[in-house]
Amino acid sequence: MTETLRFSARLFEREGPAAWWFLRVPLEHSERILAEQEPGARGFGSVRVEVTVGATRWRTSLFPDSASGCYLLPVKKAVRASESLDADAEVDVSLALL
């Protein structure tokens, strides 16, 4: 898959000992991404991506979420700050697999 996926998702904080913030990749996109992956290609089922939110572009990994069947996109503090993103913000995302 070389195309860029575009979607909107709500920013949320995952409960736990550390503050991790995520966007949930919609199920239809998650299913397409999963279908493109080779079994066992990367640890924990992670997928390398390049992401654009607003004027900010970065590289990271998606991680599968067994509860929802979707991939989770981590959003680091620097991105949240530069784009003025708060909890429950609806975020427009462009995502390309690497």
Domain count of the fold of the chain: 1
19 within 8 A of 33, measured Cβ to Cβ: no
Global pTM reads: 0.91
CATH code of residue 17: 2.40.30.100
DSSP 60-83: EEEEEETTTTEEEEE--HHHHHHT
- The half-sphere exposure of 78 on its side-chain side, counting CA atoms within 13 A, is 5
Q: Which domain holds residue 19?
A: 5-84+92-97
pLDDT of residue 19: 85
Q: Is 21 helix (H, G, I), strand (E, B) or coil?
A: strand
Instruction: Give the pLDDT band (50/70/90) at residue 18.
Output: confident
pLDDT of residue 45: 87
